[in-house]
Chain A
Amino acid sequence: MTFDIYLIFDSIPKMLAGIGMTLHLLFLSSFLGLILGIIILLMRISGRWYLSFPTFAYIYFFRGTPILVQIFVIYHGLPQFEAIRDSVFWPILREPFGCAILALTLNSGAYVSEILRGGYLGVDKGLHEAGKALGLSTPHRFIYVTTPIAVRLAIPAYSNDFISMLKATSLASTITLLEMTGVARTIVAQTFAPYEIFIAAAIIYLVMTWFLQRGFGLFEKRMSRYIKLSEA
């Protein structure tokens, strides 16, 4: 077996053809997942059992099963039912892209809601009481007191999840989407050089992760600017 280092550099530009799809999957499903996560969080901390109970089931299911299985259930499983194929959702579910977004969003929503709950629970009880003493209503307290602190506390865990999502998008290659891993696998099938090509793909993922890490680092710094001041 020979190792062709030039093949790595030759294949990187070709693989960039899939980067748009990777980013599209990452940002769209993360954005929708964030919204879903917030809704799930609010239901969960509402204190009403009929709102919080479904969230338990949802989070348990989506955290307890592999994303690949979820993608397969949605992509291959759902169309088995005539009713789904006749439904208004079929135009979305028919497309591999729609299925990938749905699976990744549902998965991300479950994790994000737990991450945000961690942040929420991390907010000191005294701050709630202080807010109450100032006469702030419950929604006001949540928005102006709890949220900024909870978000700051949740950033490290959230950035972790975001980077996990970047890697999870590669699973979309199993349902015909030509995102970066899909492009890489196709090139491998043509060149029979899995080592070089997947190394090239790994390099691109590493570069992307580096930028994401930097981005979240800056965001965390900004959200913590008051703490840094008070400590100084």
Chain B
Amino acid sequence: MKKMLLLLLLVGALVLMFGSYASAAEKLRVGCECTYFPFNYRTAEGVLTGYDVDIAKGVLDIIGADFEFVCQKWSGMIPALLANKFDLIVASMSITDKRKIKIDFSIPYRISVGRFVGKDGANLNLFNADGSVNEANFKGVKVGLERATTYANWIEANVPNATVLLYDTSEALYLDLRNGRTDAIMTNPMKAFLRFLSKDAGKGFGFVSPPLDNPKIFGTGVGIGIAKGREDLLNRINSALKTLIKNGSMEKYSLKYFPFAIHSEKWEGVE
């Protein structure tokens, strides 16, 4: 009986090996916008590149599949996946309950966080060394936010007594921070880096908080979208993403475009 089992296992292993050989010829088509800097965009030479593209290549490399990128307008992304125009969406798509009704998502390869930006050397000390909120130091500090963003919910939940000013555009938000009308702003760190901190206008300013993640408020993050019923492929993608996190590749991808990591090490905590 034991021998039988062993034999079965051996056969199983062979099938798996053979299967993985077979999948070496497997070709997966990846849908993205091709115009979303710095996540999926074309360089001046026309080469498709970006964080999403790196992730897709990294994952498919581990899986051992060939890839082909398909450019698709954002509004038709999910319909195109469902119409089998491509196999995967790797396009900075946030994982939401509404989208989960139609498609499945991998674990997040980029997280949604909020972060405070303020003047260098202002010593606001809004957060303790362990990353917790220092509520007392928020007193008298004017915090700028964009209207209708999730950051207002974070403030409401964590420092309800903060003085908040609401802005309609991120440009106005940065301007008033620079002009000293606000002491700090809470925003998306990637956006703050691309539009403000990396520019001349943002000189002398920097992050004054750790990345603040709260899936309940900011969402789970960005994942790879896949049609329902492909659990096997999804599992392989998830384990490949975990490998990329563990071996440090994902951080390397981040650092190509940002001076900080944009994924979470805490992937286990996410379903």
Contacts and interface: CB of A to CB of B under 8 A. Distances in A.
Partners in one complex: yes
A208 B148 CA distance: 28
B171 to A, nearest CB: 9
Given A76-B172, A186-B147, A189-B147, A176 B165 contact: yes
B218 interface: no
Contact of A176 (B148, B167, B179): B167
Nearest to A178: B166
B181 A190 contact: no
Contacts of B148: 186, 189-190
Interface in B151-183: 165-168, 172, 175-176, 179-181
Contacts, number: 30
Give the interface residue-count category, chain A: 10 to 19
A85 B175 CA distance: 13
B228 to A, nearest CB: 28
Nearest to B148: A189
A176 B176 CA distance: 10
Interface string A174-214: 10101000100110011000000000000000000000000
A176 B166 contact: yes
Contacts of A182: 166
Counting contact residues on chain B (CB < 8 A from A), the size range is 10 to 19
A119 interface: no
Nearest to A76: B175
A142 B33 CA distance: 72
Interface string A39-53: 000000000000000
Contacts of B172: 76
Contacts of B176: 176
Interface in B74-95: none
A109 B147 CA distance: 32
A96 interface: yes
B166 A85 contact: no
Contacts of A174: 168
A208 B166 CA distance: 25
Contacts of A80: 179
30 contacts: A76-B172, A76-B175, A79-B175, A79-B179, A79-B180, A79-B181, A80-B179, A85-B179, A85-B180, A94-B179, A94-B180, A94-B181, A95-B181, A96-B165, A96-B181, A174-B168, A176-B144, A176-B165, A176-B166, A176-B167, A176-B176, A178-B166, A182-B166, A185-B147, A186-B147, A186-B148, A186-B166, A189-B147, A189-B148, A190-B148
